[in-house]
Amino acid sequence: MRINIALPLPRPFKYELDKRTGALRKVLFRSSPHYMWLDKEEWRVTLGFWGKLGDAIDVERVCMAVEQEVFGFGLIIGVTGKFETFPKDCGYYGHRNTVGLSFEKGSDRMAELSGRIAEKVNGLLSSKYIQFKNPHITLVRKERRRRPALPVGWVKKLELEPLECIFDKVVVYISDKRISGGVYVLQRSARLI
Protein backbone atom coordinates (compact mmCIF):
# COMPACT_ATOMS: atom_id res chain seq x y z
CA MET A 1 0.00 0.00 0.00
CA ARG A 2 1.07 3.56 -0.64
CA ILE A 3 0.26 6.38 1.74
CA ASN A 4 0.11 10.02 0.80
CA ILE A 5 -0.58 12.66 3.48
CA ALA A 6 -1.89 15.93 2.10
CA LEU A 7 -3.88 19.11 2.59
CA PRO A 8 -6.88 18.88 0.25
CA LEU A 9 -7.90 21.98 -1.69
CA PRO A 10 -11.47 23.26 -1.34
CA ARG A 11 -13.53 22.80 -4.53
CA PRO A 12 -14.12 26.57 -5.18
CA PHE A 13 -10.35 27.17 -4.91
CA LYS A 14 -9.62 24.39 -7.42
CA TYR A 15 -12.11 25.77 -9.93
CA GLU A 16 -10.70 29.29 -9.64
CA LEU A 17 -7.14 27.99 -9.98
CA ASP A 18 -8.18 25.94 -13.01
CA LYS A 19 -9.52 29.11 -14.68
CA ARG A 20 -6.43 31.13 -13.87
CA THR A 21 -3.86 28.59 -15.09
CA GLY A 22 -4.96 28.66 -18.73
CA ALA A 23 -1.83 30.59 -19.81
CA LEU A 24 0.47 28.06 -18.15
CA ARG A 25 -1.32 25.16 -19.87
CA LYS A 26 -0.95 26.82 -23.28
CA VAL A 27 2.76 27.56 -22.81
CA LEU A 28 3.59 24.08 -21.55
CA PHE A 29 1.48 22.32 -24.18
CA ARG A 30 3.34 24.14 -26.97
CA SER A 31 6.83 23.83 -25.50
CA SER A 32 6.59 20.48 -23.68
CA PRO A 33 3.67 18.35 -24.90
CA HIS A 34 5.19 15.28 -23.22
CA TYR A 35 4.39 16.68 -19.78
CA MET A 36 1.15 15.61 -18.11
CA TRP A 37 -1.19 18.24 -16.69
CA LEU A 38 -2.80 16.73 -13.60
CA ASP A 39 -6.57 16.67 -13.36
CA LYS A 40 -7.78 19.29 -10.87
CA GLU A 41 -9.28 16.54 -8.70
CA GLU A 42 -5.69 15.38 -8.03
CA TRP A 43 -4.45 18.82 -6.94
CA ARG A 44 -3.47 18.93 -3.28
CA VAL A 45 -0.59 20.05 -1.07
CA THR A 46 1.41 16.92 -0.32
CA LEU A 47 3.04 16.94 3.11
CA GLY A 48 4.74 13.54 2.77
CA PHE A 49 4.34 9.90 1.77
CA TRP A 50 5.51 6.31 1.94
CA GLY A 51 6.20 4.57 -1.36
CA LYS A 52 5.26 1.23 0.15
CA LEU A 53 3.77 0.08 3.43
CA GLY A 54 2.78 -3.60 3.56
CA ASP A 55 0.99 -4.11 6.85
CA ALA A 56 -2.63 -2.99 7.42
CA ILE A 57 -1.81 -2.53 11.13
CA ASP A 58 0.97 -0.07 10.19
CA VAL A 59 -1.48 1.83 7.99
CA GLU A 60 -3.88 2.10 10.92
CA ARG A 61 -1.04 3.31 13.18
CA VAL A 62 -0.16 6.01 10.66
CA CYS A 63 -3.79 7.19 10.43
CA MET A 64 -4.07 7.38 14.21
CA ALA A 65 -0.73 9.21 14.51
CA VAL A 66 -1.79 11.79 11.92
CA GLU A 67 -5.11 12.33 13.70
CA GLN A 68 -3.27 12.91 17.00
CA GLU A 69 -0.74 15.33 15.52
CA VAL A 70 -3.19 17.52 13.64
CA PHE A 71 -5.73 17.75 16.46
CA GLY A 72 -5.85 21.35 17.65
CA PHE A 73 -3.27 22.58 15.13
CA GLY A 74 -5.76 25.14 13.81
CA LEU A 75 -6.70 26.37 10.38
CA ILE A 76 -3.97 27.20 7.88
CA ILE A 77 -4.50 30.17 5.61
CA GLY A 78 -2.36 29.93 2.51
CA VAL A 79 -1.89 32.54 -0.22
CA THR A 80 -0.48 31.29 -3.51
CA GLY A 81 2.86 32.57 -4.73
CA LYS A 82 4.54 31.69 -8.03
CA PHE A 83 4.93 28.77 -10.37
CA GLU A 84 8.15 26.89 -9.70
CA THR A 85 9.89 23.76 -10.87
CA PHE A 86 10.48 21.06 -8.29
CA PRO A 87 12.12 19.13 -6.66
CA LYS A 88 14.18 21.46 -4.56
CA ASP A 89 15.18 19.08 -1.78
CA CYS A 90 13.43 15.78 -2.41
CA GLY A 91 15.59 13.06 -3.95
CA TYR A 92 12.55 10.85 -4.57
CA TYR A 93 11.74 12.60 -7.82
CA GLY A 94 15.13 11.85 -9.37
CA HIS A 95 15.33 13.86 -12.59
CA ARG A 96 11.58 14.01 -13.09
CA ASN A 97 10.75 17.69 -12.82
CA THR A 98 7.33 18.90 -11.85
CA VAL A 99 5.72 22.31 -12.01
CA GLY A 100 4.02 23.38 -8.83
CA LEU A 101 2.40 26.44 -7.38
CA SER A 102 4.23 27.64 -4.29
CA PHE A 103 2.77 29.59 -1.38
CA GLU A 104 3.65 33.19 -0.60
CA LYS A 105 1.99 33.03 2.83
CA GLY A 106 1.19 30.05 5.01
CA SER A 107 3.98 27.78 3.77
CA ASP A 108 5.76 28.03 7.14
CA ARG A 109 2.65 26.67 8.90
CA MET A 110 2.33 23.90 6.31
CA ALA A 111 6.00 23.02 6.76
CA GLU A 112 5.56 23.03 10.55
CA LEU A 113 2.62 20.62 10.28
CA SER A 114 4.54 18.45 7.81
CA GLY A 115 7.47 18.30 10.24
CA ARG A 116 5.25 17.37 13.20
CA ILE A 117 3.66 14.54 11.24
CA ALA A 118 7.04 13.31 9.99
CA GLU A 119 8.50 13.26 13.50
CA LYS A 120 5.52 11.36 14.88
CA VAL A 121 5.26 8.72 12.16
CA ASN A 122 9.01 8.14 11.86
CA GLY A 123 9.00 7.41 15.59
CA LEU A 124 6.34 4.75 15.04
CA LEU A 125 7.64 2.88 12.01
CA SER A 126 11.09 1.92 10.84
CA SER A 127 10.28 2.42 7.14
CA LYS A 128 11.23 5.83 5.81
CA TYR A 129 8.58 8.49 5.49
CA ILE A 130 9.49 11.11 2.89
CA GLN A 131 8.60 14.60 4.04
CA PHE A 132 8.00 17.47 1.60
CA LYS A 133 9.67 20.55 3.06
CA ASN A 134 8.48 22.94 0.33
CA PRO A 135 4.69 22.69 0.37
CA HIS A 136 3.22 23.28 -3.09
CA ILE A 137 0.42 22.18 -5.39
CA THR A 138 1.76 19.90 -8.13
CA LEU A 139 0.13 20.87 -11.43
CA VAL A 140 2.34 19.32 -14.12
CA ARG A 141 4.47 16.18 -14.05
CA LYS A 142 6.99 14.69 -16.47
CA GLU A 143 6.49 10.97 -16.96
CA ARG A 144 9.84 9.70 -18.30
CA ARG A 145 13.43 10.67 -17.56
CA ARG A 146 14.66 10.40 -21.14
CA ARG A 147 12.51 13.25 -22.36
CA PRO A 148 13.67 16.87 -22.39
CA ALA A 149 13.60 19.08 -19.32
CA LEU A 150 10.95 21.69 -18.68
CA PRO A 151 11.46 25.21 -20.04
CA VAL A 152 12.22 26.62 -16.59
CA GLY A 153 12.60 30.17 -17.91
CA TRP A 154 9.05 30.17 -19.26
CA VAL A 155 7.64 28.83 -16.01
CA LYS A 156 9.40 31.52 -13.96
CA LYS A 157 8.02 34.31 -16.21
CA LEU A 158 4.41 33.25 -15.72
CA GLU A 159 2.56 35.03 -12.96
CA LEU A 160 -0.65 34.33 -11.12
CA GLU A 161 -2.60 36.80 -9.06
CA PRO A 162 -2.52 35.50 -5.46
CA LEU A 163 -5.36 33.22 -4.39
CA GLU A 164 -6.28 32.56 -0.76
CA CYS A 165 -6.97 29.03 0.42
CA ILE A 166 -8.15 27.94 3.87
CA PHE A 167 -7.05 24.44 4.88
CA ASP A 168 -9.18 22.86 7.58
CA LYS A 169 -8.18 19.18 7.39
CA VAL A 170 -5.45 16.73 6.53
CA VAL A 171 -6.29 13.72 4.39
CA VAL A 172 -4.51 10.37 4.38
CA TYR A 173 -4.81 8.80 0.91
CA ILE A 174 -4.22 5.04 0.91
CA SER A 175 -3.82 3.39 -2.48
CA ASP A 176 -3.35 -0.26 -3.23
CA LYS A 177 -2.39 -1.53 -6.69
CA ARG A 178 -4.42 -4.55 -7.64
CA ILE A 179 -3.32 -7.42 -9.87
CA SER A 180 -5.67 -6.04 -12.53
CA GLY A 181 -3.56 -2.86 -12.54
CA GLY A 182 -6.21 -0.62 -11.02
CA VAL A 183 -5.54 1.56 -8.01
CA TYR A 184 -7.99 1.57 -5.14
CA VAL A 185 -7.89 4.72 -3.03
CA LEU A 186 -9.23 5.02 0.51
CA GLN A 187 -9.30 8.28 2.38
CA ARG A 188 -9.17 9.11 6.07
CA SER A 189 -9.33 12.71 7.13
CA ALA A 190 -8.46 14.56 10.31
CA ARG A 191 -9.70 18.08 11.03
CA LEU A 192 -7.24 20.84 11.88
CA ILE A 193 -9.73 22.77 14.04
Q: What is the pLDDT along the chain (193 residues), one digit of tens a residue?
A: 788 899 999 999 999 999 988 888 887 777 777 778 888 988 999 998 887 777 788 888 889 989 999 998 999 999 999 888 876 655 554 455 788 899 999 999 999 999 999 988 888 877 778 888 888 998 988 765 555 566 666 677 778 899 999 999 999 998 876 656 667 777 888 998 7
The total number of residues written for the chain in this structure: 193
- pTM (predicted TM-score): 0.85
- Residue 146: DSSP 8-state: T
Contact 104, 81 (CB under 8 A): yes
Would you state the pLDDT for residue 88? 62
Would you state the pLDDT for residue 93? 47
Would you state the pLDDT for residue 87? 63
Contact 192, 169 (CB under 8 A): yes
User: CA 64, CA 61: separation in Å to the nearest integer?
Assistant: 5
Q: Which of 138, 73, 80, 137 is nearest to 109 (CA)?
A: 73
